[in-house]
Amino acid sequence: MTSLTVPLNQPGKHFGHIRIPHSADDSAWGHVMIPVCVINNGTGPTALITGANHGDEYEGPIAIRRFMGVAEPSDIQGRVILIPTLNHPAFMAATRNSPIDSVNMNRAFPGSPSGTITQKIAAHINDHLIPEADLVLDFHSGGKTLDFLPMAISHILDDAEQDHRCATAARAFSAPYTARLREIDDTGMLDGAAERAGKTFVTTELGGAGTTNAQSAEIAYQGLRRVLAFHGIFCTNYAPAPSRALDLSDPTGFHFAEHRGLFDPQVSLGDTVERHQRLAHIYHPEDLQSVPKAIYAQRPGLIAARHVPGLIKPGDCAFVTGTDTGPAGFP
């Protein structure tokens, strides 16, 4: 049976695991162990902070590890539940999906206690930890195949009061960009599980390419501190940083490759492009005399994400363009 080895309701700073039975060839009565830290002090809201929902995204795990290294119970009013590597098997394999069952954690919610290992992790989060939380921050970056402008994201929600809470929390993160997004289909996502439970939910895209850098890691760490400070959970003065508002709600901003070959981008993250502007060439891998195929901008806007690997294939997301709508205010 899945269990949490760390107390949720005891004052102090506690380290432990979500422990999930996993009988494998190399461990007959073995378990998958997801590391957890809970810091609990006094009465106040609870924040659930998760990284490596996808195993090849690193800003979240770094921010959470930095925070748990410095935060003591006296710094906290309420409770933080810190899970730096939610899909720990994927994190250890440096893969997006779990190497055990090939399941994408962010398509596994609400999970199943009797399902595969990733579904079991999702079920524990959904059934036991999300209900404890007022605020859920789930860190993402682009992974090995995408790279993003650094942004905190809230979803456009039908409930106006919850929508306002989530948008305010995303702005409080103060990433260089604060984005608004309506998921076309949130089936299986942690995002939807937390939102349907009425929680204040924020996610991020903070870089990618299967690595991190000093800037993106610092944005993640400062954003985590700011969100917790804004909600009164982390006892430090809250100070927002400037942020640009980014509208990603237009589905025509998503540009998918239709050809296979060598990817030759003509634009960079943060560039402003016109409609019909050429964004990339794709060269046929073997036919040296063929004319390269082009990807053209379907709408004007800002390059918010791009494909990373040097090779591309039909169906890959090549670019995402959004609209910079000016300085992001507090909603």
Phi/psi at 130 (5° precision):
-55, -40
**C-beta closer to Zn ion: residue 38 or 151:** 151
**Residue 60 beta carbon to Zn ion: minimum distance, rounded to whole angstroms:** 9
Task: Write the interaction track for Zn ion spanning residues 2-41; mark x where CB under 5 A is met and - where it is not.
Answer: ----------------------------------------
186 DSSP 8-state letter: -
- Choose the binding region for Zn ion from 25-33, 55-63, 245-253, 272-280 (rule: CB under 5 A): 55-63
Interactions with Zn ion, residue window 74-93 (CB under 5 A): none
How far apart are alpha carbons 229 and 239 in whole angstroms? 9
**C-beta closer to Zn ion: residue 136 or 282:** 136
User: Hey, what are 267's tokens?
Assistant: 């634009």
- Choose the binding region for Zn ion from 13-21, 33-41, 50-58, 276-284 (rule: CB under 5 A): 50-58
Among 13, 140, 199, 231, binds Zn ion (CB under 5 A): 140
Residue 199 found at the interface with Zn ion (CB under 5 A):
no
- Choose the binding region for Zn ion from 7-15, 86-94, 137-145, 168-176 (rule: CB under 5 A): 137-145
CB 175, CB 245: distance < 8 Å: no
Residue 54 found at the interface with Zn ion (CB under 5 A):
yes
Residue 144 found at the interface with Zn ion (CB under 5 A):
no
**Residue 255 beta carbon to Zn ion: minimum distance, rounded to whole angstroms:** 19
Phi/psi at 73 (5° precision):
-50, -35
Query: Which long-range contacts (C-beta less than 8 Å, at least 24 apart) are formed by 296-301?
Result: 297/255, 297/273, 297/321, 298/252, 298/253, 298/255, 299/250, 299/252, 299/253, 299/275, 300/272, 300/273, 300/274, 300/275, 301/250, 301/253, 301/272, 301/273
**How many C-beta atoms surround the C-beta of residue 286 within 10 A?**
7
Binding site for Zn ion (CB under 5 A): 54, 57, 140
